[in-house]
Structure 1
Amino acid sequence: MSESSAGSETDAGSERLTTPHPDHLVPNSARMYDYWLGGKDNYAADRELAELFLQKIPSMREMARANRDFVTRVTHYLADQGVRQFIDIGTGIPTSPNLHETAQAVAPDTHVVYADNDQVVLAHARALMISNEVGQVAYIDADVREPEQFLGSADLKEQLDLDRPVALMLIAVLMLIDDSEGIHESVAQLRDALPSGSYIAITHPTADFDPPVVAEVAGAARASGMTFVPRSHDEVAAFLGDWELVESGLVPVKAWPRPAGDDADAKSAWYWAGVARKP
C-alpha cells in the first residue's frame, strides 16, 4: 500500500478512506463515482456532494451503474472488432470487471494503458498492473489536458504500438474540464496521434434530458470547488471529430448498442454515449 492510499484497505475493501489526502476537502469525481457504486474509497467531502446529487437526481446510482455497464459492453464490442490495444484516460477507481479483464477475456494478448492524475486512483491502479503471459496492463500518471506529455511517455511507448489500431476510452471524464482549458484541442491531438482503424469511445453527462436539475447540480459542484460541465448532444459529438460513428450513433448510454427497452428507459441515464472509428 502506498502512502497516498494509507487508511484504505484496497485488498479487502472493508474500511473507508480515513487518513486525509491533500485534496480531501475538495470533492473528487472518481471518489464520488466510487460512492455511488457502493465503494468505500471516498472522503466526507465526496460523500456530501454525492448525496446532494442524489437529492436532486435520485437515480444517480443507477446512472453511474449504466455508465459502468457501457464500459463492459463497448470493451467487448471493440475486442470483437479486433482491437488489441486500449488507452483508458480518466480511468477512476477500479471497479470489477475492469476494462482489461473484459478485453483480455476476449483476447488474452490485449495491452491496456490506464491513465489518470488522481493519487487515490494511482494507489488502487498499481494493484492492477498484473500482466498475463501475453497481455499487458500498465498505469500512467497523466492528464488528458497534456496530450503531448502523455503521448511522449516512455511507459506508453513501451506498452503500445501507435502504428496499430488503438481504442481511446474517454468515459465520463471530459465533463471535468471546461472548454476554456483547451479540452477540444487536447482530444483532437489524441485523435490525430492514432492510426487509421482506431476507435474512440465516449460517455458524457448532459443537461439535454432535464436542464433545470442538471444546472442546479452543476452549480453545486462549482460551489464545492469541482468543475462539472454537462454538454449537449452536438457538443459531445464535436469530440469525435470526423471519425465515423458505428452501431447506434451517439445515443443515451443505455441505448448503446440499442438493447431492448423503450425510449423512456433509455433516457433515464443522462449520459450521451458513442463509438467512432478513424477512417
Structure 2
Amino acid sequence: MFTDISLSADQNNKFSEFLKKDNVDLGINFSIYVLQAGAWPLGQSSLTSFAVPQELEKSLQMFENFYHTRFSGRKLTWLHHLCQGELKLTYLSKPYIVTMQTFQMAILLLFEKTNALTHKELQTTLQLNSEQFSKHLASLLDCKILLCESENIGPDSVLQLNLNYTNKRTKFRITAALQRESPQEAEATLSSVDEDRKLYLQAAIVLSQSRATFAPSISMIKKCIEALIDKQYIERTPNSADEYSYVA
C-alpha cells in the first residue's frame, strides 16, 4: 500500500510533465491514485455504468493516453464511486467551495446551463443505476443545494438549483445520504467490515515488523494519512487535529 501511494505521487508529477510537454491545459486540477486491485479493498462490486461529465472526460482520456505509453498490457479501471472533487459554486450571493463525491458533482454539473431538470433527464444523461443515483441525489436535496416541490420523487419530478442557498461556511463537504439496508445488504456490509478489519490487522502487523527495516519520513507518513482519509479508512477526531480514528 505504501508503495502504491508513493508511486502514485510520482505518476502525478510525470503526468504534469507530460501535459506541459504537449502544451495541454485540462482546465481543472486533476490527480489520481493508481492502486493494485489485490492490495486494496476497493469495492469493485459497487461499479456502475456512468457517463463521465464533459468537464472531466478530457482529463481521464489524457491520463489513459499517458499511462498506456508507459505501461503496455495494463488495464485501468476507474472507480468513480471512490473518487471526489472540489466544485466552486459561483451562482450564489457568495462563492462556495464544496468537496463532494464524483456522482454528486456530475449531477450538479448538469445544471451548468439550466436551473431545472427532471429526475429522468438527470439519470438518463448520467446513465447511473437507480441505487447510486437516488442516494447521491438525496444528499444534494438534504443539504438544500437542490430543491424539489414533489415529496414523492418520480421520473417527471423537477429538480431545481436553490438560488437562495446560504451556508455559514464557504468551504464544506457533502456526504452521501444514508439508506436503510435490507437484511441481505446488512449481512454483506458486516462481511465487508470483517474483511476490512482483517486487512487493518494485517497492515498493523506488517507496520510493527517494518520498524526494524526502515523509518518512514514525516512527509511519507502525512501523504499516507491523507490517502487513508480520502478513502474513508480513518478520520480526524473532532477535538484534535493530530488524532485520528479508524472508520469501522
TM score, norm. by length of structure 1 = 0.28
More helix by share: 2
Larger Rg: 2
TM-score (normalizing by structure 2): 0.30
